[in-house]
């Protein structure tokens, strides 16, 4: 049983405990007490709204739904204002008991009648159908609507039909909205029936092998197709799902019907991106982006409403589904969109992306203006050769960081102190810097624009392309360095002063000091070679020693306890890495690569420590 693997007091009571937790958290809800035998006390139950007797909505049609547990929030999580009046839950992936369903119907009985809305699964059809039949023998007005939106199986067995999956949530929202609007029970069913051939859902789930299975059911039923891991990019998987949706026989017939009509109004759709519980919100939003682009590109269907969320899950399955509801004609669009837009507490907020085309999703960025032209022009480069040397240094640094991607990632994985992505972060910055140097803007890379403007542009580039805390810290340091360039000429002494200013800004922003196992240990080691009042020539002569001190600072971080950044939270247990296995901080080593490469690029005789470096890094 799927319940055996859940974190709970016991598999027998896990669902009842979950229902109690839901009701405890929301005083507008209640559980229906069981009567008679208590043998099934833990199996499931009924969640119902605490609607006062004689309330303004008392004479409207009531709507209930339900099914097996494990799909939350569907359906017990959708009981509340604007949605269901009650939901009946069975055990995990098991249909509710008929007695529970009947009790929910009896609790909600009213002259306007009651709609039972379920998904097309044999157990639900039988148990809800039995309860509805028993209610009618007691002269309770009750009708049942069965959702069957799964388009993944092309020719389902007639006796079974299509499964009901996440598209049933759109039907639920419409049914509840129509009921709240005062529509008659038979009219509600007729309207839902008119939409049966215009709603379709296809899902996909990632398997432990990395492959993606198309059409996998919400209880783990086998799918209808497989995308191997090497073919399973997001574009490929979502594209396959959407194309299968649009090729559905029902959808194609509805679209062809519109094409044959002479009406000038075109078809459009509402779209639901549903997560099965194991994909993050970040991933679901990415799926929504690709699905939106694919639908508009393949079918030219405007997407009038877009819903995203983990709404009908399969415990924590790493999968998703895409549901489409076709809207045909102005009258049709009117009542459907108006009903979908009715307020409901537990329904996800809708977006209305139809006003946009995929190429209109972004606003143009404002022109970059890191420093004013007047301040730039007063501090030019000393010569065209100085500018060429600066650009050559940047190009060399970019190449060095790209080469060091793997080793920096390895350093960032030692002892669990980092995320293992320092090299990736530096790589992104390096690639962006490489493009900047190779395709410079004439307004930026000129002799008259000066070093201040170049440093400011590099600051913007670090913030926008590197990302993460490293991008922010490099951006802050470079911006401070740019602001400090206020005297001409810009020579070796000016460069060291700018570096010192950058280190101070990074120290303040990152709340780090020398000795905290950060890049500052490298930078401050480098700066120790320079005394105040040195001439430009004296600064130049001390650069080889500065590089040695920078390396000493970087190497020393291997035995330091981290006191800044993310590593500070896990660094107290640095003992997980023995002294012989300890490695330098990745940020400190990246700073060494940058400083050493710049010095080499401008002609400084830097000591060759390749063999010693390999030993320190554990790569020798």
Do 347 and 398 lie in one domain? The reply is no
Is 548 a member of any domain? yes
pLDDT tens sequence across 52-93: 544 555 689 999 999 999 999 999 999 999 999 999 999 999
pLDDT beyond 90 at 563: no
CA distances in angstroms from 394 to 105, 365, 541, 599, listed in the order given: 73, 26, 22, 11
Is 176 a member of any domain? no
Q: Which two tokens stand for residue 358?
A: 């995929």
pLDDT tens sequence across 357-395: 666 677 777 665 544 444 444 578 888 888 889 999 999
- Report the C-alpha gap between 345 and 273 in whole angstroms: 19
Q: Which two tokens stand for residue 43?
A: 């199996």
- Report the C-alpha gap between 447 and 372 in whole angstroms: 16
Half-sphere exposure of 352 (CA within 13 A, CB side): 5
Strand partners, 227: 212
Do 526 and 461 lie in one domain? The reply is yes
- Helix/strand/coil for 439: coil
Is 165 a member of any domain? no
Q: What is the mean pLDDT of residues 543-549?
A: 96
- Report the C-alpha gap between 227 and 236 in whole angstroms: 8
Instruction: Indicate the number of domains in the chain.
Output: 3
Place of tokens 């996440």: 166
DSSP string spanning 344-392? -TTSPPPB-GGG--GGGSSPPPPPP-SS-HHHHHTS--S-HHHHHHHHH
H or E element at residue 204: strand 199-206
Is 177 a member of any domain? no
Do 543 and 574 lie in one domain? The reply is yes
Buried b (16+ CB within 10 A) or exposed e, 268-293: bbbbbbbbbbbbeeeebeebbbbbbb
- Report the C-alpha gap between 266 and 251 in whole angstroms: 15
pLDDT for 571 equals 52
Please provide the distance, in angstroms rounded to a whole number, between the alpha carbons at the two ends of the chain. Answer: 52
For residue 307, the enclosing domain spans 198-360
Do 303 and 408 lie in one domain? The reply is no
pLDDT for 302 equals 87
DSSP string spanning 461-496? HIIIII-HHHHHHHHHHHHHHHHH--SSS--HHHHH
Is 224 a member of any domain? yes
Do 583 and 443 lie in one domain? The reply is yes
- Report the C-alpha gap between 144 and 150 in whole angstroms: 19
DSSP 50: -
pLDDT tens sequence across 606-615: 999 999 999 9
| CATH assignment of the domain containing 578 | 1.25.40.340
Do 522 and 581 lie in one domain? The reply is yes
The 10 Å Cβ neighbour count of residue 231 is 12
Q: Which residue has the higher pLDDT, 127 or 449?
A: 127
Q: Of 353, 344, 262, whose CA–CA distance to 303 is shortest?
A: 353
Percentage of the chain beyond pLDDT 90 is 62
Buried b (16+ CB within 10 A) or exposed e, 413-441: bbbebbebbbbbbbbbbbebbbebbeebe
Q: Which two tokens stand for residue 289?
A: 């982006």
Predicted model pTM: 0.74
Is 155 a member of any domain? no
Domain termination residue (choose one: 327, 360, 393): 360
Do 463 and 394 lie in one domain? The reply is yes
Place of tokens 């895409």: 322
| CATH assignment of the domain containing 317 | 3.30.1180.20
| CATH assignment of the domain containing 123 | 3.40.50.10440
Domain termination residue (choose one: 316, 331, 360): 360
Do 317 and 416 lie in one domain? The reply is no
* The pairing of beta strand 29-31 with beta strand 114-119: unpaired
- Report the C-alpha gap between 551 and 530 in whole angstroms: 16
Do 377 and 356 lie in one domain? The reply is no
* The pairing of beta strand 225-227 with beta strand 268-275: unpaired
pLDDT tens sequence across 454-478: 999 999 999 889 887 889 999 999 9
Q: Of 559, 555, 493, 556, whose CA–CA distance to 527 is shortest?
A: 493
Is 270 a member of any domain? yes
- Report the C-alpha gap between 529 and 275 in whole angstroms: 57
Strand partners, 272: 307, 323
Domain termination residue (choose one: 304, 331, 360): 360
Average pLDDT, the chain: 87
Q: Which of 80-94, 212-226, 232-246, 396-410 has the lowest mean pLDDT?
A: 212-226
Do 249 and 139 lie in one domain? The reply is no
* The pairing of beta strand 45-49 with beta strand 303-309: unpaired
Residues 6+ apart with CB under 8 A from 237: 204, 212, 227
- Give the active site residues: 219
* The pairing of beta strand 268-275 with beta strand 62-69: unpaired
Q: In what order do the strands lie in the sheet with 45-49?
A: 29-31, 45-49, 86-92, 62-69, 114-119, 142-147
Place of tokens 């009509």: 261
Q: What is the mean pLDDT of residues 146-156?
A: 88
Q: Of 591, 609, 613, whose CA–CA distance to 397 is shortest?
A: 591
Do 133 and 267 lie in one domain? The reply is no
Q: Which of 234-243, 415-424, 481-490 has the lowest mean pLDDT?
A: 415-424
**441 — pLDDT class (breaks 50, 70, 90):** low
Q: Which of 140-144, 258-262, 507-511, 596-600 has the lowest mean pLDDT?
A: 258-262
pLDDT for 332 equals 66
pLDDT for 578 equals 55
Q: Which residue has the higher pLDDT, 604 or 261?
A: 604
- Report the C-alpha gap between 286 and 320 in whole angstroms: 12
Residues 6+ apart with CB under 8 A from 36: none
Do 319 and 461 lie in one domain? The reply is no
Is 499 a member of any domain? yes
Cα three-residue angle 241-89-106, rounded to 5 degrees = 125
The answer to whether residues 301 and 295 touch, using CB atoms and an 8 Å cutoff, is yes
């Amino acid at each position: 049983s799927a319940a055996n693997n859940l974190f709970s007091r016991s598999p027998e009571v896990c669902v009842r405990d979950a229902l109690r937790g839901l009701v405890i958290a929301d005083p507008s809800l209640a559980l229906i007490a069981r009567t008679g035998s208590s043998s099934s006390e833990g199996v499931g139950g009924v969640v119902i709204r605490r609607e006062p007797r004689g309330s303004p909505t008392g004479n409207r049609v009531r709507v209930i739904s339900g099914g097996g547990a494990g799909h939350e929030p569907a359906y017990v999580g959708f009981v509340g204002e604007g949605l269901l009046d009650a939901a009946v839950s069975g055990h995990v992936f098991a249909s509710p008991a008929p007695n529970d369903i009947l009790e929910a119907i009896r609790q909600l009985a009213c002259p306007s009648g009651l709609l039972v809305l379920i998904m097309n699964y044999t157990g639900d059809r039988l148990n809800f159908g039995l309860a509805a039949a028993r209610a009618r023998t007691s002269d309770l007005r009750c009708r049942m609507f069965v959702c069957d939106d799964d388009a993944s199986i092309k020719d389902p067995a007639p006796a079974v039909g299509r499964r009901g999956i996440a598209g049933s949530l759109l039907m639920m929202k419409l049914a509840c909205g129509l009921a709240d609007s005062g529509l008659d029970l038979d009219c509600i069913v007729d309207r839902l029936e008119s939409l049966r051939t215009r709603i379709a859902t296809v899902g996909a789930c990632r398997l432990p092998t990395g492959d993606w299975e198309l059409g996998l059911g919400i209880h783990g039923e086998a799918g209808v197709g497989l995308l191997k891991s090497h073919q399973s990019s997001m574009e490929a998987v979502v594209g396959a799902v959407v194309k299968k949706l649009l090729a559905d026989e029902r959808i194609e017939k509805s679209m062809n019907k519109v094409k044959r009509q002479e009406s000038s109004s075109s078809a459009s759709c509402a779209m639901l991106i549903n997560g099965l519980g194991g994909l993050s919100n970040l991933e679901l939003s990415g799926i929504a982006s690709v699905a939106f682009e694919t639908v508009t590109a393949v079918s030219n269907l405007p997407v009038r409403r877009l819903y995203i969320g983990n709404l009908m899950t399969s415990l924590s399955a790493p999968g998703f589904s895409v549901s489409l509801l076709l809207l045909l004609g102005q009258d049709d669009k009117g009542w459907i969109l108006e009903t979908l837009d009715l307020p409901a507490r537990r329904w996800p907020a809708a977006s209305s992306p139809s006003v946009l085309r995929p190429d209109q999703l972004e606003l143009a960025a404002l022109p970059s203006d890191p420093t004013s032209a007047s301040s730039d022009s007063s501090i030019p480069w000393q010569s065209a050769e100085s500018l060429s040397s600066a650009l050559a240094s940047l190009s060399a640094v970019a190449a060095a960081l790209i080469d060091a991607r793997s080793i920096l990632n390895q350093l960032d994985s030692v002892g669990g102190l980092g995320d293992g992505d320092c090299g990736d972060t530096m790589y992104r910055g390096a690639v962006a810097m490489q493009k900047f140097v190779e395709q410079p803007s004439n307004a930026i890379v000129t002799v008259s624009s000066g070093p201040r403007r170049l440093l400011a542009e590099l600051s913007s580039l670090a913030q926008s392309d590197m990302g993460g805390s490293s991008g922010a810290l490099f951006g802050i340091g470079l911006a401070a360095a740019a602001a400090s360039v206020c005297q001409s000429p810009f020579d070796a002494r000016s460069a060291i002063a700018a570096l010192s200013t950058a280190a101070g800004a990074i120290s303040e922003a990152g709340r780090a000091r020398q000795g905290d196992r950060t890049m500052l240990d490298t930078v401050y080691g480098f700066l120790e070679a320079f005394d105040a009042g040195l001439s430009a020539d004296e600064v130049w002569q001390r650069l080889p020693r500065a590089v040695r001190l920078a390396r000493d600072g970087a190497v020393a971080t291997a035995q330091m306890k981290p006191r800044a950044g993310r590593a500070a939270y896990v660094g107290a247990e640095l003992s997980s890495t023995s002294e012989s296995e300890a490695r330098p901080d990745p940020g400190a080593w990246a700073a060494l690569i940058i400083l050493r490469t710049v010095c080499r690029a401008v002609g400084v005789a830097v000591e060759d420590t390749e063999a010693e470096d390999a030993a320190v890094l554990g790569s020798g």
